[in-house]
A and B are shown apart, each in its own frame.
Chain A
Amino acid sequence: MSYKKFGQNDVIVNTMRAHPNCEFFIYDSKVYYNAKPEQSGAFSSQTLNVPAGHISLYEYNIDRAAGTNPLIYPFVYKNGDKISFKTVSEAQWSRLYSYGDQITSSYPLSASITREFLSGGAGGTTTITPTDRAHLAYQSPNFPHFYALKNKLNFYGIMSEHFKVSSSYGDKNTQEVNLISVPTIFYGSEIKPGSMNLKWYLTGTLVGELKDEKQNGELIQVGPVGSVGSGSVAGVVMYKEGFVLLTGSWGLCEPISLRSGSADVSGSWIYFGAGALDGVRQQAGIVSSSYSSASFDLSFKGTSDTQILTMFAHANKGEVNYSNNPTFIQYGQTKVRHTSSLIYEENPSQLIYNTVSSSFLGYDADYENQVYVSRVAIYDENRNLLGVATLSNPVLKKEDQDLTFKIKLDI
């Protein structure tokens, strides 16, 4: 086997950017992810052991339940490395465990979208006065998630005034805000700008649709044509952080039960996604049963970058014309001419098997130097085998041909 060194232009690295579709459908306090139905198992009510609309990290505990088919769980031993699980606080680590003790955690770990309805003004605060320490009183935000996003919202104000916490379009501190959080595991490095799409259905009929037509994060109502609020900005989307903030409060449909413990309210964008892990659910006897007539669709494209190593392995004419395969030599020949305690000599006159195909019956085509290439092996500079690329079908290589094999490796 001969080695051939890659030239300067034979190895390139590039990045493939993919935009996988991601869709959440919210109906009757349940979230469905990419139209995956609920699937019950023999032991567990959900095969993946996570609620509908969630994804399960590792997807380990398939149809398991405590008792008859117990769950897989992780653990570490307490030692000087100070390794632990996020669910174990530093104080617990110090006090509850001795060195050598097992620190356990649990699977499955899951993620899904969550909705928070920031009522009575998103920027509201409450005065906290420590007991007997009145002079240490401080303001605590009622909605810390919104509070944490204020800086970023103002930063994105250069893209649109609608992002700003306080602008001519209103003051989010005093507005009711619908905050939808999308975990990063669903979208990768960022949500593809312009791909966010929100649809509001009432008894299956579209009553409102938001799109980021300008690709600047503004969610503009684009449908149905001529609907109330059409063309208005109902909120903003933070593509890198995975948050949607909706402030549009114009009525999209008749009053409907979309707030926990409250009277029916006119359907508007601030109630979009009601039931998405926000505690809102059908409340028989308290509000009307119209809750289950609303359904919501939130879709976007994620972004994932994959680095690809592309290698061009050249088999030039006059090269790669021999095989070490034993069947390369014609069968039945004497392989060793002399062998003794002093000499070992192979037969130099062994014939190579003629693999040239003849078009005629009973006629052997003339011999030509040719091989069938089935694999390309990649070695490092120390000739350690790093990988083998196998062709789906062997490729015929004649002596007067140049061939180039393109090998791609996702890294």
Chain B
Amino acid sequence: MAVTSFETLNASNIATTKTLLHESIPLTGTIVSGTYSDNNIKNYTHGQFQSVYDYPYLSSSANHIFDITIGYDESSSLSGSANVTQNAKKINMYNQFSQVLLGFTGSANNVRKFELDLLLDEVGVMNESIFLNFSRLITKDQIKKGTFSITLGTGSWSGPFANTKTLTDVSASDTRGTANTFGGDYGELYSTDNVVRGIVFYQAGIAILSTSSFDGVTDFYSASAGTSSIAQTFVSSSITASCDALRHRLQNITFNNTTEINSSIYFCRVPHNKYNHSANPTYVSSSTIRVKSVNTDTPVAYITTVGLYSADNQLMAMAKLSEPLKKDPTNEITLRVRLDY
């Protein structure tokens, strides 16, 4: 139907807003290790990381939820140990994450190292780290600050959850952890004894755990060759085996994600003396207006639709009301049209 009248939308009639939609993401340890007999764990021939799915990955229903890998800096004492397995790959994994998340420093453009406070002052350096890289499917635009929690089993290999350590980003705030890192905002992961044990990058969706989380655990990993601490595991075991050991000790991960919904709001104002007539063919019957009983009645219309037009009168979008609104010369209406994108 042809539109007979247009109202110009001024700048004062248009507002933009940003709304945050969150989702609660619980990742239980039984999925990571146990329920599916590792059929939901994908290992690759390159052996550089391990992928965790929420269901056996050969099923089309399965979603990739996160990757696990480990690594250490080349200055770490572990890299100089004898008989190191996948030494170059472990250094490369560390360097890759630090390049992407922290960048370089100094005139020689050295790769930065992870720190427990990320003040980038090379104090509290995490030379050996565990990396959990969460899928964009579950982190969406970013992990919500102050909601990240990971519970690790620090008991023996046979009973890993006899003792647990929960790391949370309790100190997170909108203004904290916004230093100029490449990886965006970050939060320190505190254990319940108020010691920082890792870092979480909110926008990147990456959690980095210090090996200090497992200090004192003598049998971090158990294989046919015997048991080993986390440092010994990092040296003598492959990345895959180290990831297996970590999964064995992952009890729970929870966080909330955030999706930013940007919206334009158009305030369509309907003045009292306009839009009291309709161009709908059924508005008139036998040359008389249907909704008027006598010719002295005030004109009445029912608004059902708002059309948004460009400057050259091209229809861009239509907004439908859930029910028609009665409009006559005695009332004015402001219709709030919201466009999400």
0/1 string, B8-27, CB within 8 A of A gives 1: 00000000010111111110
CA distance A81 to B262 in the complex (A): 11
Interface of B, helix, strand, loop or mixed by DSSP: strand
- Given A42-B36, A63-B54, A68-B30, decide whether A76 and B19 contact each other with a Cβ distance below 8 A: yes
> Is there contact, CB below 8 Å, between A62 and B55?
yes
Closest-CB distance, A383 to chain B (whole angstroms) = 22
Kindly state whether residue B61 has any CB partner on chain A within 8 Å.
Answer: yes
Closest-CB distance, B16 to chain A (whole angstroms) = 11
Kindly state whether residue B48 has any CB partner on chain A within 8 Å.
Answer: no
- Greatest chain B CB density within 10 A among A63, A68, A70 is at A63
> Is there contact, CB below 8 Å, between B35 and A75?
no
> Is there contact, CB below 8 Å, between A39 and B61?
yes
Counting chain B residues whose Cβ lies within 8 A of the other chain, the interface size class is 20 to 34
Closest-CB distance, A208 to chain B (whole angstroms) = 34
Residue of B nearest to A41 (CB): B55
CA distance A77 to B22 in the complex (A): 9
CB-contact partner of A83 in B19, B25, B26, B31, under 8 A:
B19
> Is there contact, CB below 8 Å, between A75 and B28?
no
> Is there contact, CB below 8 Å, between B54 and A76?
no
* Interface residues contributed by chain A, number (CB under 8 Å): 21
CB-contact partner of B55 in A63, A68, A74, under 8 A:
A63
CA distance A188 to B19 in the complex (A): 28
> Is there contact, CB below 8 Å, between A62 and B26?
no
> Is there contact, CB below 8 Å, between B28 and A72?
no
> Is there contact, CB below 8 Å, between A75 and B26?
no
Residue of A nearest to B263 (CB): A81
> Inside 8 A of A98's CB, which chain B residues have their CB?
none
Kindly state whether residue A220 has any CB partner on chain B within 8 Å.
Answer: no
* Docked complex: B61-100 residues within 8 A CB-CB of A: 61-63
> Inside 8 A of A70's CB, which chain B residues have their CB?
26, 28
Kindly state whether residue A48 has any CB partner on chain B within 8 Å.
Answer: yes
CA distance A41 to B61 in the complex (A): 11
Kindly state whether residue A73 has any CB partner on chain B within 8 Å.
Answer: yes
CB-contact partner of A62 in B20, B23, B25, B63, under 8 A:
B63
CB-contact partner of B25 in A39, A41, A69, A72, under 8 A:
A72
Residue of A nearest to B26 (CB): A70
A–B complex contacts, Cβ < 8 Å, 18 sampled: A39-B61, A47-B61, A59-B61, A59-B63, A62-B55, A62-B63, A63-B54, A68-B30, A69-B31, A70-B28, A72-B23, A72-B24, A72-B25, A72-B138, A74-B21, A76-B19, A76-B20, A83-B19
Q: List 6 additional A-B contacts (Cβ < 8 Å) besides A47-B55, A75-B256.
A: A69-B30, A72-B138, A74-B21, A75-B22, A81-B19, A81-B263
- Top 7 A-B residue pairs of the complex, sorted by shortest distance between their CB atoms: A62-B55, A70-B26, A83-B19, A62-B54, A74-B23, A42-B35, A47-B61
Chain B residues at the A interface, C-beta cutoff of 8 Å: 17, 19-26, 28, 30-31, 35-36, 54-55, 59, 61-63, 138, 256, 261, 263
